[in-house]
Copies of this chain bind each other. A is one copy, B any other.
Amino acid sequence: MAIRSLESESRAAGLLSLDELRVMLRAVGEQRYHHKHPFHLLMHEGKLSHSQLQAWALNRYYYQSMIPIKDSIILSRGPDPVFRRAWRKRVVDHDGDGSSEGGIQRWLKLAEATGLNADDVRAGKGILPATRFAVNEYLNIVRNRSLLEAVASSLTELFSRDLISLRMEKLRQHYGWLSGGLDYFEARLRQAPEDAHFAINYVYEHAKTRVEQELAIQALRDKCDILWAQLDALYFAYVQPAWPPPGAFRMKDAEA
């Protein structure tokens, strides 16, 4: 009875149901998630050079290294111990503990498997400024927007399992020399869906108005742009041609 009346209230307020919310979030992923980015397409086709994979591993390390900082900011904003206990898992997943080395260390192993020096990678030597700008924007979002939006910005994890499965298969197929460096992805196959499950339920329960639901969806859109921009920067610096990201100004007199 209580649930019924909550549901009718929700409908009256124009709120999306959990299923409708999921559909909207998935639509954002279809349009903007980086599984469609040409840099990843080249990777999956085995067309990236050794150096291009190095540039990717190096730059993406900066993203990886900031994830537990991003999650610590969210921890610092969560007023509820139950929420913090649940969210803390993410920091442990990336920073490790007595029994696990953690995602950052695993990414370093991947970078080393490409032939990079771990100390140089850790120091961010040679990373693209655009990588820093995009990743730092993720910190801005979780610091400056509502906690709801901060949580929602993690929802790219709804899509990451499929991309990681495909990537592992393709990396093994085309770049066998990288096979020893894939522990990071192996761990994420399990972690990401757990995290996404928690986050989507949190967003559904805490977005009390349609406006708040829209803000949560926008946070996911912005997070997708952050991932996309990192690959744009790589493509631009280390591969080639030119296209605007989803939603950006398009030229009327473009040749392509």
A residues sitting closer than 8 Å to B (CB atoms) are 49-52, 54-55, 58-59, 125-130, 132-134, 136-137, 140, 222, 225-226, 228-229, 232-233, 235-245, 247-254
For the complex, give the distance between the alpha carbons of A133 and B134 in Å: 5
For the complex, give the distance between the alpha carbons of A49 and B140 in Å: 35
- What is the copy number of this chain in the assembly? 2
For the complex, give the distance between the alpha carbons of A169 and B235 in Å: 34
For the complex, give the distance between the alpha carbons of A133 and B139 in Å: 11
Min CB–CB distance A113 → chain B (angstroms) = 17
For the complex, give the distance between the alpha carbons of A125 and B250 in Å: 11
For the complex, give the distance between the alpha carbons of A136 and B132 in Å: 11
Chain B residues closer than 8 Å to A140, beta-carbon distance: 136, 140
Chain B residues closer than 8 Å to A225, beta-carbon distance: 129
Neighbour of A251 across the interface among B52, B125, B232, B236, CB < 8 A:
B52
Contacting pair B128 A137 (CB below 8 A): no
Chain B residues closer than 8 Å to A236, beta-carbon distance: 232-233, 235-236, 242
Chain B residues closer than 8 Å to A51, beta-carbon distance: 251-254
For the complex, give the distance between the alpha carbons of A48 and B244 in Å: 16
Contacting pair A241 B238 (CB below 8 A): no
For the complex, give the distance between the alpha carbons of A244 and B249 in Å: 23
Give 8 pairs: A residue, B residue, CB < 8 Å, sorted on A.
A126-B250, A129-B248, A233-B236, A237-B245, A238-B251, A238-B254, A240-B240, A241-B242
Contacting pair A249 B128 (CB below 8 A): yes
